[in-house]
Amino acid sequence: MQAPISTPTVHIDLGDRSYPILIAPALLDNPACFASLPAGNTALIVTNVTVGPLYAQRLQVTLLKQYKAVHVVTLPDGEEHKTWQTLNSIFDALLAHACDRKTVLFALGGGVVGDMTGFAAASYMRGVPFVQVPTTLLSQVDSSVGGKTGINHPLGKNMVGAFYQPLLVVCDLDTLKTLPARELSAGLAEVIKYGPIADLVFLDWIEANMDALLQRDVPALAYAIQRSCEIKAWVVGQDERESGLRAILNFGHTFGHAIEAGMGYGKWLHGEAVGCGMVMAAELSRELGLVDTAFVQRLRTLVQRAGLPVIGPRLDADDNAGRYLDLMRVDKKAEGGEIRFVVIDGPSHATLRAAPDALVRRVVDACCA
């Protein structure tokens, strides 16, 4: 019998679909991390061409202590590959290896790998179990937690997918050692967002520890990931399918998704677009009379310190604001063509608000180069 593991754990409370998030170094090589998973003969690791050579074999060796066969499918890397075609390559591998309903999928990589693996798990044989093994900061603090899965459509990000919870999330802090600096900064955008929407004390902590986070100080990263997951767990536990409260987790994402779609997926990293989008959402909050200029400047400074852009790109030479509006009308929070934005309306509190097009145009014009 495997010895129980002792590591910081955050629990997602969803009744019979609850699961733990393990956060510590050296988890990939520890079979005890995976001992609670249901019995089965086969596992499939889904990874990409960047992460696979670094970690796939290590995870495979660990899982072979539990499964008779552990197969690996390697996807191309990048947001631009979050498509039907790439998703189908996961189904090709599952069918080629005659994987059954008890096959467990393991998403080893960042948010793109996690989203597509989860969607494949939700769809294959109408649902097979899967595990998130996120290797980027962004995926450890956000996309691996909460059960959102999916792919992009040329007209909108994450517009095709399903809510499907993993059995387990394993955040091995050692994987962050090989993360490129640009990817680390992108992950910090999702860390920063939790402060304005839920915990100003955490925002203070992020400001005080930004240099340590950028230097990959392990205790600082561990706390940032744990606190981020605690906040997300609290939100998801109350609103799993984003019928209300969970929408606040999209602070900065409406503008950010427009940037990603308008520029072409992969030109800016998701976290870069979200970082800039948070500045734009803060400016919209100010225009609505909900926050003051000092708050906007505070957030802008913090996003910039994280190494993220704070000036939005031009998406159209003739009518830039109009292009943003068109793209944001296909955002999942839009209703009846009316765009709803996550805005800050008080200390550690966010809400959804509609805003007149003229005001949104003013914000876009003020925040773009």
Give the domain extent around 260: 181-367
**Is residue 293 in a domain?**
yes
Residue finishing a domain among 157, 178, 199: 178
Active site annotation includes 349: no
- The CA distance from 109 to 50, in Å, is 9
pLDDT at 6: 54
pLDDT at 2: 39
| 342 and 303 within one domain | yes
Residue 269 has pLDDT above 90, yes or no: yes
User: For 8-65, how does the pLDDT look when each residue is reduced to its tens digit (9 = 90+)?
Assistant: 799 999 999 999 999 999 999 999 999 999 888 999 999 999 999 999 999 999 999 9
User: For 190-228, how does the pLDDT look when each residue is reduced to its tens digit (9 = 90+)?
Assistant: 999 999 999 999 999 999 999 999 999 999 999 999 999
**Is residue 90 in a domain?**
yes
- The CA distance from 262 to 320, in Å, is 10
Residue finishing a domain among 178, 202, 232: 178
| 309 and 252 within one domain | yes
CATH number at residue 304: 1.20.1090.10
Q: Which of 79, 81, 157, 190 is catalytic?
A: 190
Q: Which of 250, 286, 323, 340 is catalytic?
A: 250
Please return the burial class of 244, using the count of CB atoms within 10 Å of its CB with bins 0-12, 13-18 and 19+.
Answer: exposed
pLDDT at 23: 97
CA 324 to chain CA centroid, Å, is 22
| 35 and 77 within one domain | yes
Residue 5 has pLDDT above 80, yes or no: no
C-alpha closest to that of 290 among 281, 300, 299: 281
Please return the burial class of 153, using the count of CB atoms within 10 Å of its CB with bins 0-12, 13-18 and 19+.
Answer: middle
Q: Which of 193, 246, 286, 340 is catalytic?
A: 246
Residue 318 has pLDDT above 80, yes or no: yes
| 133 and 29 within one domain | yes
Active site annotation includes 232: yes
Q: Which of 81, 82, 157, 270 is catalytic?
A: 270
| 209 and 343 within one domain | yes
Q: What is the 3-state secondary structure (H, E, C) of 57-125?
A: HHHHHHHCCCCCEEEEEEECCCHHHCCHHHHHHHHHHHHHCCCCCCCEEEEEECHHHHHHHHHHHHHHH
| 30 and 44 within one domain | yes
Is residue 187 within 8 A of residue 143, CB to CB? The reply is no
Active site annotation includes 148: yes
Is residue 138 within 8 A of residue 270, CB to CB? The reply is yes
| 312 and 266 within one domain | yes
Active site annotation includes 82: no
Active site annotation includes 246: yes
pTM: 0.94
Mean of all residue pLDDT scores within the chain: 95
Q: Which of 82, 232, 323, 333 is catalytic?
A: 232
Give the mean model confidence (pLDDT) for residues 254-277: 96
Active site annotation includes 257: yes
| 214 and 168 within one domain | no
pLDDT at 333: 79
Share of the chain above pLDDT 70, in %: 98
Residue finishing a domain among 178, 209, 233: 178
Which range is least confidently modeled, 126-135, 237-246, 285-294, 307-316? 237-246
Q: Which of 157, 257, 323, 340 is catalytic?
A: 257
| 148 and 188 within one domain | no
**Is residue 358 in a domain?**
yes
User: For 327-366, how does the pLDDT look when each residue is reduced to its tens digit (9 = 90+)?
Assistant: 999 887 787 779 999 999 988 999 999 999 999 999 999 9
User: For 87-146, how does the pLDDT look when each residue is reduced to its tens digit (9 = 90+)?
Assistant: 999 999 999 999 999 999 999 999 999 999 999 999 999 999 999 999 999 999 999 999
| 168 and 204 within one domain | no
Q: Which of 79, 242, 272, 287 is catalytic?
A: 242
pLDDT at 331: 83
**Is residue 337 in a domain?**
yes
**Is residue 273 in a domain?**
yes
Structurally, the chain folds into a number of domains equal to: 2
| 278 and 159 within one domain | no
Active site annotation includes 340: no
| 188 and 126 within one domain | no
